Amino acid sequence: MRVVVSVGGSVLAPDLDPERVAAYAEAIERLAAAGCEVGVVVGGGGVAREYIETAREIGANEVELDRLGIGTTRLNARLLIAALGERASLAPATDTEAAAAALRRDEVSVMGGVTPGQTTDAVAAAFAESVDADLLVYATSADGVYDADPNADPDAAQFAELSPAELVEVVLPMSRDAGASAPVDLLAAKLIDRAGLRSIVLDGTDPSAVVDAVLRGDHTGTDVVPPDADEPNRWTEER
């Protein structure tokens, strides 16, 4: 099974804790040991926000801010690479083609951001599409996709499952509202829809949640299931 895991910076490195990074590396290694081809896209988290806010006050423009953000995603990616050791690519790939090439070389392919104007949510979807991944997992600080922003609306309800087209519909109004935080951004949702990518959005605070979701389909987040997808249990072949 070929899987791309998007690890939010706020999940991997809310602060710089070597044990948390090592635990993530161990979870990724468990997937590889179970026979998965694994690509990982790492986000910037709080560090990215601090750099971006500081540079914004200095007067940097949006592209410059994005480049700072990309730099922090690559720093976090290097942290994970350091914890993964020889199994991983030597350095974060700087585009999805190089990341796909690393996967072909049988490496755990780790990357951060690539180009201004997007986030690593979209990078992960493009990477998954380019390698025809069987599964795309978003390990985030949100525990799934909700019908409204759960931080703002106490009546927000979590979807157990929705289609990629429905994901786009849910994320679209959130992307218009500057205050709302979408579980995955709009570009990512559109790529998931275009490519018909089976995806899972889950709380990645505990890295073993990613292992359970990938190897057993066992999770409490949200499944994004294309209409013509194979039966949900196809990943159990790897057990």
**In the complex, what is the shortest distance from the CB of residue 124 to ligand UTP, in angstroms, rounded to a whole number?**
9
- The single residue among 3, 27, 31, 48 that binds ligand UTP, judged by CB under 6 A, is 48
Structure tokens at 74: 């690559």
3-state SS, residue 139: strand
**In the complex, what is the shortest distance from the CB of residue 22 to ligand UTP, in angstroms, rounded to a whole number?**
20
Strands 109-111 and 37-42: parallel
**In the complex, what is the shortest distance from the CB of residue 121 to ligand UTP, in angstroms, rounded to a whole number?**
6
Structure tokens at 121: 């949510």
Indicate the residue among 89 and 96 with the shorter CB distance to ligand UTP. 96
Cα 52 to Cα 66: distance, rounded to the nearest angstrom: 8
- The single residue among 39, 45, 92, 164 that binds ligand UTP, judged by CB under 6 A, is 45
7 interacts with ligand UTP by CB under 6 A: no
109 interacts with ligand UTP by CB under 6 A: no
- The single residue among 3, 38, 70, 197 that binds ligand UTP, judged by CB under 6 A, is 70
164 interacts with ligand UTP by CB under 6 A: no
> Is residue 49 within 8 Å of 16, Cβ to Cβ?
no
Indicate the residue among 10 and 89 with the shorter CB distance to ligand UTP. 10
How many H-runs (helices) and E-runs (strands) does the chain carry?
A: 9, 7
Cα 46 to Cα 15: distance, rounded to the nearest angstrom: 8
The phi, psi pair for 35, rounded to 5°, reads 100, 5
114 interacts with ligand UTP by CB under 6 A: yes
Q: How far is CA 216 from the centre of its chain?
A: 19
96 interacts with ligand UTP by CB under 6 A: no
In the complex, the residues that contact ligand UTP under the rule CB under 6 A are 8-10, 43-45, 48, 65-66, 69-70, 73, 113-121, 123
